Amino acid sequence: MSTSTTKKKASRERPSFPSVYMALAHTLALRSTCHRLQVGTVITSTDFRKVLAIGYNGNATGLHNGCDREEPGNCGCLHSEENAVINCDAPRFTEKVAFVTHLPCVQCAKRLINLGNVKKVYYHQDYRVRDSLDVLKEVGIEVEKMEPYKK
């Protein structure tokens, strides 16, 4: 391989790990069966080397793939963060980072807190209620709104 080819490959822009995991969260959201809002979550290690859990919103396993009710905010679907917390078998002492397509609601913020050692939550889109920002910051969890990687 020539030197100029090596330099071209080395200089190309690569997406950051947070961008990669936010893109994965958006891809997972496509699996959501909720009629109102499709949300995806990825939980990783803080060095971004391991995906510890994934989740997307929808009904419980084995139940029909759809909402139980049409009422916004009370459709009966499990939230993506809730499913990711359920799926996460990493010990509490393992430091974690969460990537969520939408700002978590207050209850999901509390679930992430109880998961243990979540250091940061990245999100892309705001949720209709922003109270979770205060809840997460109160316990020292950093929160950052980010755009997904675009080539």
CB atoms within 10 A of CB 10: 8
Name the residues annotated as catalytic.
81
Q: Are β-strands 96-102 and 118-125 bridged in parallel, bridged antiparallel, or unpaired?
A: parallel
CB atoms within 10 A of CB 117: 14
Q: Are β-strands 96-102 and 40-45 bridged in parallel, bridged antiparallel, or unpaired?
A: antiparallel
